[in-house]
Amino acid sequence: MKFTTLNETCYYFDAVVNIGYVHRGDNGMLIDAGIDDSIMRKVLKELKSNDLPVTHLFITHGHADHYGGAHFLQKRHDITTIAPKFEAAILQNPTLEPLYLFQGNDPLPELHNKFLEGKAIQIDQEIEAGTHEIDGISFATHLLPGHSYHQLAMEIDGILFAGDSYFSEEQLDKHKIPYITDADLTLESLRQLEDIMCDGAVPGHGVFEKDFTQTVKKNIDCHESLLDWLEDYITEAGISHETIVSDMCEHFEVKNSQLSSWLLYRTAVTAYLVGLIKRGKIDHYIEKNTWKFRKVQS
Ligand SMILES: [Zn+2]
């Protein structure tokens, strides 16, 4: 984990899951909190050694790898915690994540793991997209859904802390089918990112880039090529949801041996199906108690 300076007030901890930091006089705001106590322990140690305060925390979205360290932070420091609405509900009730991934069934014990469920945290202020001033810290937030229902990226002092609204090229290559919840909204958010004028962006996973438009473009290309593959693959005769999940994962050489990772990929594959439905390319129906998808005849 490397503590990197971006400008006079903005920094970030370059890690598996990046953590932003903004310094304003006696105040210091962390943006996201890493996955667990040990990450947060390192963050606090680094800030202390640089004599930097920590008074505020903003969480971009309710995924455990972005808020798992927040409980430890709240125990150690008197923190004002800010989160997007809807995402705040998950941060306060973390079982909601394994619950929704498991389609509303009570999650099996193995789904209560730190990758899907962090410790509950207190949220002091729920916000939406717009401009804000909290305790003298002014910033703007952008609603960028498609990866998480109500994800907000934070723009402050010229830097965009983008959460998981886009991924680094390495992440795209690693996951093959990136975790998204709606392909259409993901693409809309990526196009919105291209229009944000700022001095650079820190994604949730990857490195800070002054010009991040090429990386955003690679994200768009990745999603469009997955949509193209799926559109070619679905026939007029119809294919079951279960078969599509299996075939798409096999085709892109995704290897799932655990239920928790398979559930994430099921959601991602479904996000591309939803994207094609919204484009009018396919439709869906129930046949013999099986959820099926077929090409729309043009
Ligand atoms: Zn995420």
Is the distance from CB of 183 to CB of 272 less than 8 angstroms? yes
SS3 125: strand
Q: Return all residues near 235 (Cβ < 8 A) that are at least 6 apart.
A: 294, 295
Q: Which pLDDT score, from 0 to 100, does residue 298 have?
A: 74
Q: What distance in angstroms lies between residue 238's CA and the mean position of ligand 1's atoms?
A: 32
Instruction: Quote the ligand 1 centre to 295 CA distance (angstroms).
Output: 31
Given a cut of 80, is residue 243 above it in pLDDT? Answer: yes
pLDDT tens for 84-103 read 999 999 999 999 999 999 99
CA of 77 to the centre of ligand 1 (A): 25
Taking a 5 Å cut-off on Cβ, the residues next to ion ligand 1 are: 63, 164
Across the range 60-77, mean pLDDT stands at 98
Q: Give percent of the chain with pLDDT exceeding 70.
A: 100
pLDDT tens-digit profile of 211-222?
999 999 999 999
Q: Is the pLDDT of residue 282 over 90?
A: yes
Question: pLDDT tens digits for 8-30?
Answer: 999 999 999 999 999 999 999 99
What's the pLDDT tens digit per position in 136-183?
A: 999 999 999 999 999 999 999 999 999 999 999 999 999 999 999 999
Segment 282-298 shows an average pLDDT of 95
pLDDT above 90 covers a percentage of the chain that reads: 99
Which domains are delineated in the chain? 2-214 (3.60.15.10), 225-295 (1.10.10)
CA distance 117 to 132: 29
> Can you give the pLDDT at residue 127?
98
**In Å, what is the CA distance from 160 to each residue of 65, 69, 225?**
19, 21, 27
